[in-house]
Amino acid sequence: MRLECTVNDEARSLDGVWEGESLLYVLRERLGLPGSKNACEQGECGSCSVYVDGILACSCLVSAGQVHGARVITVEGLAEGDELHPIQRAFVEAGAVQCGFCTPGFVMVTHDLLAREASPTEPEIREALAGNLCRCTGYQKIVDAVQLAAKMLEEE
Amino acid sequence: MEFLQPSDWQDALAAKAAFPDAVPVRGGTDVMVEMNFDRGRPAALLDLSHVKELGEWGRDDTDDTCVRIGAGVTYTRVLRELGTTVPGLAQAARTVGSPQIRNRGTIGGNLGAASPAGDCHPVLLAADAVYEVESAARGVRRIGADEFYLGPKRNSLDADELIRAIVVRATDTGQQFAKIGTRNAMVIAACSFAVAINREVRSVRTGIGSAGPTPLRAPEAETYLTDMMTQGELWEGGRLPDADVLKRFGDLVAGAARPIDDVRATAAYRRHSLRVMARRTATWALRQSC
Ligand SMILES: Cc1cc2nc3c(=O)[nH]c(=O)nc-3n(C[C@H](O)[C@H](O)[C@H](O)COP(=O)(O)OP(=O)(O)OC[C@H]3O[C@@H](n4cnc5c(N)ncnc54)[C@H](O)[C@@H]3O)c2cc1C
Ligand code: FES
Ligand code: FES
């Protein structure tokens, strides 16, 4: 099929896409956007999280055919040029990044959470992050990063 | 592989009639896992994403005490929009996967997959829900939740049928759902249980998940608690049944299960946890509606 959609506000058109391949595959292998990570391809790890028409989803579980005409935002779409998004800065400052493999997914869920709830409680944060796995940090620094990001966004 | 993308419900039914082998997909949270792992490359995918009707819910036309919920309504929306209309279903929705899974996973997808561990089933069995399915050739058919499940991952849909909606009595009380697993999030039930107590019509109904080849009810437990409520004149509220009545209810639920040992739990643990969940959820449901 010819797949047409917008990715990070840019209209994209791709030929020869198989409708059944995952959006994650399209992003990484066809569009050269490796920010969304592939760690499980079964919805368990959250490292491939992106917005599809404004709704946070695991891109590994959305088929290419389903995003024809859709608006996709990936982690690459958050920063403004070289300027990191405040959530990304908060992750760096809080020490929430070790190997960094899980970070794009956590940044995306944090973005989604803070858009709905500007100052979430710790249980709310843990609930929002429940679909994302990190094998390095033990999660506490990630929770700290979300709290710091909330504060930074409030001050902006 | 054919990729069919109907833009409305009539188109979807026509497509399913023309390609009975086509695998419907809405949220994709079951279908895409299969595809990613090459377990199933269907001859055709029938993408229901654009069928707007499936995402709608409202009062049922034929019975205004009921709500009719489109098969494509996601768990996130059940949680946000239906918490005081079908509280048991909202409780179950809250335990599904993760926010990302709940954002795309749908009730219809859960019914389509018909996994004995699916979290909608116990609640819908307990709530006496009816499933509305439709085909281009034969029109609408309403199937009671009791008749829908045929075996592990098998339901009573015909090849040319799609699931349109579920129809269930609207209530803000008397329903409870509980689920056992290794974590609070992202867990397929080791087993689960739902109860719905309707004081108006004086009924008790149950649903057992992940402890049999299909979701099950516990008819003896239902009859027992109903009789005890009547004998004790407890339907009007004010008092709860005695502790040993609730305990016996739990025992009867455990007895109705047909669990096996598998990776998620042993049969014995499933029975034990059902006994406890049944007693607790019945207590909560009765107390809440007292
Ligand atoms: C990480 C992860 C965690 C999960 N956790 C849970 C959990 O905790 N509890 C739980 O119950 N499930 C869980 N699931 C399974 C899944 O999310 C649910 O079964 C969900 O309800 C499926 O909905 P969907 O719209 O994504 O289905 P899809 O994948 O689109 O479809 C599922 C099945 O239903 C059929 N189908 C879909 N819509 C229709 C229709 N309208 N008419 C006819 N057939 C239809 C499809 O052909 C397919 O067979 C999990 C899945 C993942 C990946
Ligand atoms: S790669 Fe999509 S959730 Fe793990
Ligand atoms: S930082 Fe390594 S997996 Fe999270």
Which chain B residues touch A18 with a CB distance below 8 Å?
A: 1
Interface of B with A in 164-223 (CB under 8 A): 184-186
Residue whose Cα lies nearest atom 3 of ligand 2: it is A43
Domains and CATH numbers, chain B: 178-288 (3.30.390.50)
In B138-205, alpha helices (H): 145-148
Kindly give the interhelix angle for A140-155 and A103-116, rounded to the nearest 10 degrees.
Answer: 50
- B28 to chain A, any CB pair closer than 8 A? The answer is yes
Render B258-274 in DSSP notation, one character per residue.
-----SS--HHHHHHHH
- Substitution target in B5, B32, B75, B101 with the highest count of A β-carbons within 10 Å is B32
Please tell me the distance from the alpha carbon of residue A4 to that of residue B49, in angstroms, as a whole number. Answer: 16
Per-residue pLDDT band at B38 (split at 50, 70, 90): confident
Task: Return the ligand number nearest the Cα of A24.
Answer: 2
Along the 156 residues of chain A, how does pLDDT read in single tens digits?
A: 999 999 999 999 999 999 999 999 999 999 999 999 999 999 999 999 999 999 999 999 999 999 999 999 999 999 999 999 999 999 999 999 999 999 999 999 999 999 999 999 999 999 999 999 999 999 999 999 999 999 999 998
Same fold, A3-78 and A86-155: no
pTM of the model: 0.98
How far the first Cα of chain A sits from its last, in Å, is 43
The CATH topology of domain A3-78 is Ubiquitin-like (UB roll) (3.10.20)
Instruction: Give the per-residue pLDDT at B41.
Output: 82
Q: How many other C-beta atoms are found inside a 10 Å radius of the C-beta of residue A117?
A: 13
The pLDDT tens digits of the residues spanning B136-154 come to 999 999 999 999 999 999 9
Pairing mode of beta strands B162-169, B154-155? unpaired
For domain A86-155, the CATH class is mainly alpha
Report residues whose beta carbon is within 6 angstroms of any ligand 3 atom: A 97-102, 134-137
The domains of chain A are located at 3-78, 86-155
